[in-house]
Amino acid sequence: MKNIVITGGAGFIGSHVVRLFVNKYPEYNIINLDKLTYAGNLANLKDIENKPNYKFVKMDICDFEAFYQLMQDEKIDGIIHLAAESHVDRSIKDPFTFARTNVMGTLSLLQAAKLYWESLPEKYEGKRFYHISTDEVYGALEMTHPEGVEPPFTTTASSTEHHLAYGTEFFYETTKYNPHSPYSAAKASSDHFVRAYHDTYGMPTIVTNCSNNYGPYQFPEKLIPLFINNIRHRKPLPVYGKGENVRDWLYVEDHARAIDIIFHNGKIAETYNIGGFNEWKNIDLIKVMIKTVDRLLGNPEGSSEELITYVTDRAGHDLRYAIDSTKLQKELGWEPSLQFEEGIEKTVRWYLDNQEWMDNITSGEYEKYYEEMYKGR
């Protein structure tokens, strides 16, 4: 494979994937295709924008004609598809946009790729359509625990030694889909379309479902960058419900490494779960963040806990996510490279050192949106 389109490359995870591929594979032509919605930011890629193997194309993934033309002009062999509407709270307010981009956009890419690849003498030989999805499609897990054992407890379910879990069940590649939010319903639907294109037309597809990512360049509507920025500005930290929900956190560069390994070595038509075996209750994670930010800003450690404000819960808020990524670890040899404490320290330092990046996003229009979002909560 030589000519590769990465969709959503100006977003959070996409920018890390683009950077990795551009730097690691000078022999590939990497095309970053992105509509530059509110979440797309070319400042995420300043360090590689002038590399000879990199090109940016501003395009909507729903624009079938334009994408079909691009496939032909650039002789595309591989597609790594990350473009999506990605924020659950926005999906609750505006589900149509999520169905349009996540479902129709994905279908549009699939159909254009099909028409182009089927027109070639070699057809699907050496081609790949890799769809990036989420653990949220599996629904939510319970906080069950063995009798007499208080969570979090050590589990042997994972191949990682220090895995602390909040429940005895995990998401496996075989877990039945059960999405609850308009975001996850749209992602689930797109996953089904991708698999249908393999089963019906023989398209060489792969799907991966990953847990919550954190790290540099994440849009500050998401928990970790939002709270780091609010602590810096002494603004309230809006904790949904009681802060009891559990998420499974993975450092974004570890996700990008997994995508690289799976794109090159993953088996066609397979699904791989990606996750760090790293479950945290929101409130505990928030306290770790507060301690770290306070220490790095020279505030008395933990003093920003006074900013914690419990607000109305997210509608349909999934209780617990926990990915089992044993298949990926065993079959393709990937494993997370960072312990969470190290990752969160790196992340907090990055946001504090890159305040200009943050301020460029949070000033102006976005400020109005943020005020609106939290009004009445």
Cβ proximity to ligand DAU: between 56 and 374 the closer is 374
Look up residue 117 and give its two tokens.
Answer: 């690849």
Contact of residue 240 among ligand NAD, ligand DAU, none (CB under 5-8 Å per partner type): ligand DAU
The 3-state DSSP composition of the chain as helix, strand, coil percent (nearest 5) reads 45, 15, 40
Out of 86, 102, 229, 325, the only residue in the binding site for ligand DAU (CB under 6 A) is: 86
CA–CA dist 7, 374 (Å, integer): 30
Closest approach of Cβ 102 to ligand NAD, in Å? 7
Out of 130, 170, 197, 240, the only residue in the binding site for ligand DAU (CB under 6 A) is: 240
- Residue 131 found at the interface with ligand DAU (CB under 6 A): no
Residues forming a β-bridge with 281: 246
CA–CA dist 200, 220 (Å, integer): 40
Active site amino acids: 135-136, 183
Tell me, residue by residue from 246 to 265, as one string, x for binding to ligand DAU by CB under 6 A and - for no binding.
-x------------------
CA–CA dist 171, 163 (Å, integer): 15
Instruction: Find tokens 């993934």 and name the residue.
Output: 61
DSSP state of 177: P
CA-nearest of 35, 84, 271 to 185 is: 84
Pick the piece of the chain touching ligand NAD (CB under 6 A) from 191-199, 212-220, 332-340, 342-350.
Answer: 212-220
Out of 39, 237, 344, 361, the only residue in the binding site for ligand NAD (CB under 6 A) is: 39
Out of 213, 230, 245, 271, the only residue in the binding site for ligand NAD (CB under 6 A) is: 213
- Residue 134 found at the interface with ligand NAD (CB under 6 A): yes
- Residue 12 found at the interface with ligand NAD (CB under 6 A): yes
The phi, psi pair for 7, rounded to 5°, reads -85, 150
Contact at 8 Å (CB) between 80 and 4? yes
- Residue 40 found at the interface with ligand NAD (CB under 6 A): yes
The SS3 assignment for 44 reads helix
Contact of residue 247 among ligand NAD, ligand DAU, none (CB under 5-8 Å per partner type): ligand DAU
Residues forming a β-bridge with 250: 213
Sheet with 54-58, edge to edge strand ranges = 54-58, 29-34, 3-7, 78-81, 128-134, 205-210, 271-274
Pick the piece of the chain touching ligand DAU (CB under 6 A) from 37-45, 143-151, 191-199, 219-227.
Answer: 219-227
Q: Letter for the amino acid at 257?
A: R
Out of 82, 206, 224, 328, the only residue in the binding site for ligand NAD (CB under 6 A) is: 82
Tell me, residue by residue from 156 to 195, as one string, x for binding to ligand NAD by CB under 6 A and - for no binding.
-------------------------------x--------
Closest approach of Cβ 300 to ligand NAD, in Å? 32
Tell me, residue by residue from 89 to 128, as one string, x for binding to ligand NAD by CB under 6 A and - for no binding.
------------x---x-----------------------
Instruction: Find tokens 């990008």 and name the residue.
Output: 256
Instruction: Sort 146 into a burial class: Cβ within 10 Å, 0-12 / 13-18 / 19+.
Output: exposed
Applying CB under 6 A, the residues found at the interface with ligand NAD are 7-8, 10-14, 34-37, 39-40, 60-62, 82-86, 101, 105, 132, 134, 187, 210, 212-213, 219
